[in-house]
């Protein structure tokens, strides 16, 4: 210890630092704290954080940044928020790091390499640690022997984990939230995270973003943990696993959670929904407890549950994209009654996420798109079997969320529906039953010819036109 102190003093004698604030007339008279109350390495860390970000914003200069991380990456063992910094860097610069797996690996190793030694808790998974200690690939080496500082995109992923790897990651978060993972004796009051569950979530998301794979591949594998490996999940823990996946998907960048919308579109356009061939009704197969507990076809309820879990934890930017997704993709793909019911099960439960102090424009947009989908479905389906539940939901949205503001938006749509639906939804347009029936009665009276006495011309008029003779 004395030897380290002497080296520290010798360093400051050779490279003296000015501790006096600006504006002091006589800096020699200013008495600062001793040098061991500060450390030039610790003061350099915020600068190093910015330097790494500036390197990532430049055109590909991977070799210089990797060299910098190799020499100065050990400083991150003294960083006060290493996992948060790594998560934010991988999240914000995801598009710039997507095709640079070697740089991502060195960045993860520099920031988290010694975290386990200094903090005394688990960090990366064993599978990723084995990948991290592999010999660096030669894709970034300059085979021509020149000093050109460029990054070469690898032709194939370095490591492609199997589905068991993602099952392990989701299980780790679920066990942590359930209190089944024993952490070392950590005072969470002075940690960068308030509890083990948040620590596990951020660490898992940082590891997923650091994988040498496309975001679509990673997101699909995360969703497949429930969609394909549900038999390996204890039945009483299925809700916890789905909630963990929702937390992960909502904490990842946009290229990851957009994959969920693509999977929903695939489900919406699947033959099972386009042409219903099941013995059970859609309300039975879309009921989670019934489909999961009775071992029915669970594709629909698991997709609904994953979507609801993700949207429940999603941020403002993610939630704001859902009305546009409904307008451009989901709504135009509805042609059958079962597809419309699936759309209602998907959209209606999360309407409460929007601001309820006054009707939100997003809720109005979603309501209009539901009526547009209803009109499209009404034109393609001969007989509606679930008219009452559909109308009950639309009235619920009216009285619970939007009120009479939807009248001007959907009145024209309701008037274009067939008579049975018009009668059911007439209170939305505030029309009486007689008015609805009158609108749907064909004109049987012959045209009335009115003679204009001034020039002898004739003008045909029907019985619905009110005019006066001149």
Q: What is the SS3 assignment for 26-81?
A: CHHHCCCCCHHHCCHHHHHHHHHHHHHHHHHHCCCCHHHHHHHHHHHHHHHHHCCC
* Residue 465 DSSP label: -
Q: Is the pLDDT reported for residue 447 higher than 50? A: no
Tens digits of per-residue pLDDT, 355-368? 655 557 888 899 99
CA angle 131, 136, 137 (to 5 degrees): 105
pLDDT confidence bin for 410, thresholds 50/70/90: confident
Copy the structure tokens of residue 202. 């951020």
pLDDT, residue 293, reads: 87
pLDDT, residue 7, reads: 78
pLDDT, residue 443, reads: 53
Determine the distance from the C-alpha atom of residue 212 to the mean position of all C-alpha atoms in its chain, rounded to a whole number.
Answer: 20
What is the CB-side half-sphere exposure of residue 120 using CA atoms within 13 A?
8
122-136, 137-151, 268-282, 347-361 — most confident range: 268-282
* Residue 98 DSSP label: T
Burial of 469 from C-beta contacts in 10 A (0-12 / 13-18 / 19+):
exposed
pLDDT confidence bin for 121, thresholds 50/70/90: low
SS3 at position 461: strand
* Residue 143 DSSP label: T
Nearest 5°: phi and psi at 178? -85, 0
Copy the structure tokens of residue 244. 């963990």
Q: Is the pLDDT reported for residue 396 higher than 70? A: yes
pLDDT averaged over every residue in the chain: 81
CA distance 21 to 333: 66
Helix ranges (H only) for 93-195 are 94-97, 101-112, 115-119, 126-132, 163-177
Backbone region of residue 179 per phi and psi (left: phi > 0; alpha: psi in -120 to 50; beta: other values) = left
**Helices 238-251 and 196-209, interaxial angle, to 10°?**
60
pLDDT, residue 28, reads: 61
pLDDT, residue 36, reads: 55
Query: Comparing 183 with 274, which gets the higher pLDDT?
Result: 274
Query: Comparing 307 with 459, which gets the higher pLDDT?
Result: 307
Q: Percent of the chain beyond pLDDT 70?
A: 77
Nearest 5°: phi and psi at 451? -95, 130
CB 83 within 8 A of CB 192: yes
pLDDT confidence bin for 251, thresholds 50/70/90: very high
Q: How many residues does the chain have?
A: 470
Span 71-82, average pLDDT: 86
CA distance 255 to 265: 16
pLDDT, residue 93, reads: 94
Q: Is the pLDDT reported for residue 139 higher than 70? A: no
Span 275-303, average pLDDT: 91
Taking the CB of residue 114, how many other CB atoms lie within 10 A of it? 18
CB 365 within 8 A of CB 321: no
pLDDT, residue 95, reads: 92
The closest of 60, 41, 335, 157 to 343, measured between CA atoms, is 335
Helix (H) / strand (E) containing 459: strand 458-461
pLDDT, residue 175, reads: 93
The closest of 87, 57, 108, 52 to 253, measured between CA atoms, is 87
Q: Is the pLDDT reported for residue 145 higher than 70? A: no
Helix (H) / strand (E) containing 152: none
Helix (H) / strand (E) containing 138: none
7-11, 187-191, 200-204 — most confident range: 200-204
CA distance 238 to 242: 6
Tens digits of per-residue pLDDT, 28-56? 666 665 655 566 777 788 899 999 999 99
Q: What share of the chain is helix, strand, coil (3-state, %, to 5)?
A: 65, 0, 35
pLDDT, residue 2, reads: 62
CA distance 164 to 224: 10
Where b means 16+ CB within 10 Å and e means fewer, 356-388 reads eeebbebbbbbbbbbbbbbbbbbeebeebebbe
pLDDT, residue 192, reads: 87
149-153, 187-191, 418-422 — most confident range: 418-422
Q: Is the pLDDT reported for residue 150 higher than 70? A: no
pLDDT, residue 370, reads: 93
């Amino acid at each position: 210890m004395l030897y380290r102190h002497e080296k520290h003093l010798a360093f400051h004698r050779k490279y003296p630092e000015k501790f006096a604030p600006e504006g002091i007339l006589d800096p020699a008279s200013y008495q600062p704290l001793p040098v061991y109350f500060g450390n030039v390495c610790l003061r350099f860390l915020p600068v190093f954080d910015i330097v790494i970000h500036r390197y990532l914003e430049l055109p590909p200069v991977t070799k210089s940044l990797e060299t910098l991380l190799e020499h100065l990456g050990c400083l991150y063992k003294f960083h006060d928020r290493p996992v948060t910094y790594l998560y934010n860097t991988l999240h914000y610069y995801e598009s710039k790091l997507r095709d640079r797996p070697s740089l991502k690996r060195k960045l993860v190793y520099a920031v988290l390499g010694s975290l386990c030694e200094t903090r005394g808790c688990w960090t990366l998974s064993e599978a990723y640690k084995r990948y991290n200690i592999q010999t660096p690939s030669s894709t970034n080496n300059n085979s021509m022997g020149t000093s050109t500082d460029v990054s070469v995109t690898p032709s194939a992923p370095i490591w492609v984990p199997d589905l068991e790897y993602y099952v392990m990651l989701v299980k780790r978060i679920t066990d942590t939230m359930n209190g089944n993972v024993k952490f070392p004796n950590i005072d969470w009051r002075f940690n960068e995270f308030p509890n083990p569950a948040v620590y596990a979530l951020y660490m898992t998301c940082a590891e997923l973003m650091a994988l040498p794979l496309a975001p679509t591949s990673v997101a699909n594998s995360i969703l497949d943990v429930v969609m394909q490996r549900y038999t390996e999940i204890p039945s009483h823990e299925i809700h916890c696993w789905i909630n963990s996946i929702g937390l992960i998907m909502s904490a990842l960048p946009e290229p990851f959670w957009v994959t969920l919308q693509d999977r929903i579109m695939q489900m919406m356009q699947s033959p099972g929904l386009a042409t219903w061939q099941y013995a059970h009704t859609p309300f039975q197969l879309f009921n989670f407890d019934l489909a999961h507990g009775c071992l029915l076809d669970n594709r629909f309820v698991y997709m609904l549950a994953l979507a609801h879990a993700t949207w429940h934890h999603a941020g403002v930017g993610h939630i704001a994209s859902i009305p546009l997704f409904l307008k451009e993709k989901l709504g135009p793909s509805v042609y059958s009654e079962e597809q419309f019911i699936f759309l209602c099960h998907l959209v209606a439960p999360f309407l409460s996420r929007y601001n309820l102090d006054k009707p939100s424009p997003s809720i109005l947009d979603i309501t209009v798109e539901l009526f547009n989908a209803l009109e499209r479905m009404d034109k393609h389906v001969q007989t509606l079997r679930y008219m009452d539940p559909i109308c009950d939901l639309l009235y619920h949205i009216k009285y619970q969320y939007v009120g009479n503001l939807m009248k001007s938006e959907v009145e024209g749509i309701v008037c274009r529906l067939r008579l049975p639906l018009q009668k059911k939804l007439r209170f939305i347009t505030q029309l009486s039953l007689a008015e609805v029936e009158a609108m749907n009665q064909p004109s049987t009276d012959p045209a009335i010819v009115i003679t204009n006495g001034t020039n002898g011309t004739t003008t045909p008029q029907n019985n619905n036109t009110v005019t006066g003779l001149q």
